[in-house]
């Protein structure tokens, strides 16, 4: 079993708004990497972080027009240190790379084993992995066919990820979830198909999956392939109540 240690995640969170250059002359900028909510506007898109601070990109050219339909994204940006003062509700930021749209990991009311395996599941390491108590970000790795960038979208459309609550295994202090990988177009019979790991980031809306609970632990199970090509059940364990009590004061931010 893999247990995600909270101390590692705390380090990631401290980097959200506090990174600054230590090389050469003093850098007037701080740098941030975080998961944010997309806020469409007449001028394009702004972003709202978990502290409810509005981040306004000074250049919209890196933001795809499709972002207007997205709810969450990952961004890497810098801002003037002098702009972040007590009481400020929004600041201008300079994007350092194109924002990455984050798709939802849809929940299903029906538990399924899927028909394919997953290589890895864990709390995202690219930024603090919660937006609020009901929104969690996961890193997921699974095999797809090796294709060029022009074929990647169509290949990903052949794979479906979903998550469900395993009610019979839940207790007062533990909620068990099952993450499933469904290969919609099987390639098992094609011996010439070469596969490789694909790293995906998804967000989960935990509201319905938790069913009103604030458990000590979230256990996310998934089918993992072993070196002998057998499937075994693995799991990622999240210290959920500790995170909620520390950062969200027992209340979700909706």
Number of domains making up the chain: 2
Q: CB–CB of 134/159 below 8 Å?
A: no
Residue linked to tokens 């890196």:
62
Q: What is the CATH number of the domain that holds 230?
A: 2.60.40.3220
Find out whether 166 and 221 touch, Cβ atoms under 8 Å.
Answer: yes
Q: Where are the beta strands (DSSP E) in the chain?
A: 2-3, 19-20, 29-41, 44-48, 54-57, 72-80, 90-95, 100-104, 106-107, 120-123, 130-132, 135-145, 159-165, 174-183, 195-205, 217-225, 231-238
> Which domain, by its residues, includes 218?
105-248
In a domain, 26, yes or no: yes
Can you give the pLDDT of all 254 residues of the chain as single tens digits? 444 434 444 444 444 555 555 555 678 999 999 999 999 987 889 999 999 999 999 999 999 888 888 999 999 999 999 999 999 999 999 999 999 999 999 998 777 777 788 999 999 999 999 999 999 999 999 989 898 889 999 999 999 999 999 999 999 999 999 999 998 876 655 555 567 889 999 999 999 999 999 999 999 999 997 666 677 899 999 999 999 999 997 544 44
Residues 126-167: tens digit of each pLDDT: 999 999 999 999 999 998 989 888 999 999 999 999 999 999
Same domain, 243 and 203: yes
Tokens of 166: 């395993």
Structure tokens at 157: 């459309």
The residue from 70, 102, 134 where one domain ends is 102
pLDDT of residue 207: 94
3-state helix vs strand vs coil in the chain, percent to 5: 15, 45, 40
The SS3 of residue 245 is helix
Q: Of 47, 156, 52, give the one whose Cα is nearest residue 95.
A: 47
Using the 3D structure, point to which of 102, 131, 161 is the last residue of a domain: 102
Question: 118 and 89, same structural domain?
Answer: no
């Amino acid at each position: 079993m893999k247990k995600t240690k909270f101390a590692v995640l705390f380090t990631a969170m401290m980097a959200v708004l506090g990174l600054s250059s230590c090389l050469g002359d003093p850098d007037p900028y701080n740098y941030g990497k975080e998961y944010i909510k997309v806020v469409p506007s007449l001028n394009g898109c702004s972003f709202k972080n978990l502290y409810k601070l509005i981040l306004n990109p000074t250049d919209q050219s890196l933001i795809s027009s499709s972002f207007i339909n997205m709810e969450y994204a990952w961004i890497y940006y810098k801002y003037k240190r002098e702009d972040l003062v007590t009481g400020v509700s929004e600041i201008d930021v300079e994007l350092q790379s194109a924002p990455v749209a984050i798709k939802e990991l849809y929940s299903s009311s029906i538990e399924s084993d899927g028909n394919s395996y997953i290589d890895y599941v864990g709390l995202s390491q690219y930024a603090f992995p919660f937006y609020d108590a009901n929104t969690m970000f996961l890193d997921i790795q699974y095999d797809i066919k090796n294709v060029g960038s022009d074929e990647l979208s169509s290949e990903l459309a052949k794979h479906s990820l979903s998550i469900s609550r395993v009610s019979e295994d839940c207790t007062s202090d533990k909620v068990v979830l099952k993450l499933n990988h469904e290969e919609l177009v099987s390639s098992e019979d094609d011996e010439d198909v070469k596969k490789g790991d694909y790293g995906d980031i998804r967000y989960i809306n935990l509201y319905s999956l938790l069913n009103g609970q604030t458990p000590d632990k979230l256990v996310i199970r998934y089918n993992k392939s072993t070196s002998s090509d057998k499937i075994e059940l693995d799991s990622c364990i999240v210290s959920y109540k500790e995170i909620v009590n520390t950062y969200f004061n027992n209340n979700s931010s909706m």
